Amino acid sequence: MAERSILFEPDDKYNAFLRVCNKPSYTEGKLAGVAVAVKDNISTRGIETTCASRILKGYVPPYDARAVELLRNAGAAIAGKTNMDEFGMGTTTENSAFGPTLNPCDTGRVPGGSSGGSAAAIAGGMVQMALGTDTGGSIRCPAAFCGIVGLKPSYGRVSRYGLIAYANSLEQIGPMGKSVSDVSTLMEVIAGHDRHDSTTHDRPYTHTPHADIKGLKIGIPQEYFGEGVDPAVADVVKKAIGRLEELGTTTVPCNIPSMKYALAAYYVTCTCEASSNLARFDGVRYGPAADTKRSWHEAYQEVRSAAFGTEVRRRIMLGTFALSSGYYGKYYAKAQVTRENIKADFNRIFKDVDVIAGPTMPTIAFKMKEKSDPLSMYLADILTVPANLAGIPAISVPCGKSEGMPVGLQIMGRMFEDERIVDVAYAYEQAVN
């Protein structure tokens, strides 16, 4: 296979990239000569990977994540590492230790998070495709806010080997692109079983999107159009669903009763897992050096206090508290019961429908610094976290605008039926284009 050099010099007006790479690609393969951006929590051999955190500054992985290895095998060039909310904790990409990313659609607004750098790199015309990660909506949120396409695959469809963990049971690496076809192509490259990741399944993705969705039944949960959802956003999405009906689908009203507990269950689960996962970062091997002349626990505390951002410290403390003696059953155990109830609700609905549709986000992209308190920020995730708790696939596709800003249509499907939701998204995209 012949190798060639890709010269990548983006006009990065949006702080989408933390570092840019002029790397070799190959003249053969599904992605031959294509520059693909990679979120900065996905390991890249020989390229600094920081999770947009000072505590990992200077860390250069000695290996590629499985998804990155597959990109290289397919002939792609790694364009660079994209900005993100620190350790994936955020909905705006304002929580990066290296400055916020701007939304190319309106630089006074956030691009969404936590994969905001990947979304902005695509929306700003710097790359055609990118890898993001989705723990509670971190692919779909920036896809909706920036007017691009983003897919959260079924849990286990894409290897997490080499992904720096935040919340293992929730997160997935997934494709982002300008079009549904781009996303489908990238998914075909990165999906499949990996012996390094015991949670992966032997379900390769070999699919060409098609626009014939006649006869499909689409569930419309009333909770996705209720309290907290901007009526203007809801109207745009309802018109998009009407377009799907014109293509021969039928809509079926449905309910997800457990959804009122989904956000609480999600934040208990992800903070508990973050508390465990981030305990390994101690300032000894990389990041700000600990003062080894002091007692271990004092040096450790000082480094973590200084090098972790406010939101990361908040989530570590919340998770540590929820896992502590006397509170584990009160919080974490109840969150897992709620999670099972959410899965059961989706399973019940999918007995009668093929996919579920609704808004990706309850509002358009926020203005910079508009969401100053954590609670209002967490509430923005209400429509995306259920898919992560259930492990089902979900895709966001642009479906119109409100106040001149993009609105995303979210389509969710049965476990491992990623191909079906891609087809519905593709059918809609073709119809409006």
CB atoms inside a 10 Å sphere around CB 260: 13
Give the C-alpha separation, 103 to 120, whole Å. 6
Number of helices followed by number of strands (H, E) in the chain? 12, 13
Q: Dihedral of the CA atoms 277, 281, 286, 288 (nearest 10)?
A: 140
DSSP for residue 330: I
Angle made by CA atoms 91, 92, 96, in degrees to the nearest 5: 105
Catalytic residue among 23, 25, 39, 396: 39
Residue 371 appears among annotated catalytic residues:
no
Give the C-alpha separation, 268 to 259, whole Å. 15
Catalytic residue among 43, 53, 114, 118: 114
CA distances to 27, 166, 419 from 71, rounded to whole Å, are 13, 23, 20
Q: Where are the alpha helices (DSSP H) in 59-159?
A: 66-73, 116-123, 140-146
Catalytic residue among 25, 53, 96, 138: 138
Give the containing element (helix H, strand E) for 270: helix 262-277
Residue 138 appears among annotated catalytic residues:
yes
Q: Which amino acid appears at position 139 of this protein? A: I
Give the C-alpha separation, 152 to 132, whole Å. 9
Q: Which residues are catalytic?
A: 39, 114, 138
